[in-house]
Amino acid sequence: MSFRILGLDPAPFASLARLDDAALAAQGMRRYRADEVPGFPCRVSLDDAALGEPVILLNWEHLPEATPYRARHAIFVREQARERYDRVDAVPPALARRTLSLRAFDRDGWMLDADLVEGRDLPGLIGRFLADPRVDFLQAHYAKRGCFAARVERAGDGQDPNSSIAMQGN
């Protein structure tokens, strides 16, 4: 089954690069410079920041549905991230090189299934989860720290990637 992996829309983060460290801190955010690669996975580009590249660490609500699974967590976004990862049947670099927790949700945000997978083996688990007609979307999380990584959906499902739900990253 074809799948589509989506990074976050860069628009909500575009103004963060202009803020100084004090202004970021006042909003509970922090600027870092990548000091190892891999190590700072951007949720827009779905690749790791380059050595020395500035990234912003912030809290992001990736599952806004009113269920017990409603969730937010820390994410990194490259300061200069301008293009959202949006590809069919391709695993982005930041996911391919890590152990992931893949979680399957129905349209109301209720978790139906979950499993751990090495990123290079992600397509098989995606196919298994999306074969269940009750599954509306998947979320990949980095297993080590539990952070939201990306949204996964069926390719060609007609969902607008710029919808408010997709922009929230769930």
**pLDDT single digits (tens) 21-57:** 999 999 999 999 999 999 999 999 999 999 999 999 9
In three-state secondary structure terms, 92 is: coil
Neighbour count for residue 22 (Cβ, 10 Å): 7
Q: How confident is the model at residue 166 (pLDDT cuts 50, 70, 90)?
A: very low
Taking only Cα atoms into account, the Rg of the chain, rounded to an integer number of angstroms, comes to: 15
**Spacing of C-alpha 44 from chain mean position:** 7
Residue 159 has pLDDT above 70, yes or no: no
Express as a percent the part of the chain with pLDDT over 90: 91
Cross-strand pairs, 153: 4
| pLDDT tops 60 at residue 90 | yes
CB-CB contact of 15 with 165 (8 Å): no
Structural contact between residues 147 and 141, judged by C-beta atoms closer than 8 angstroms: yes
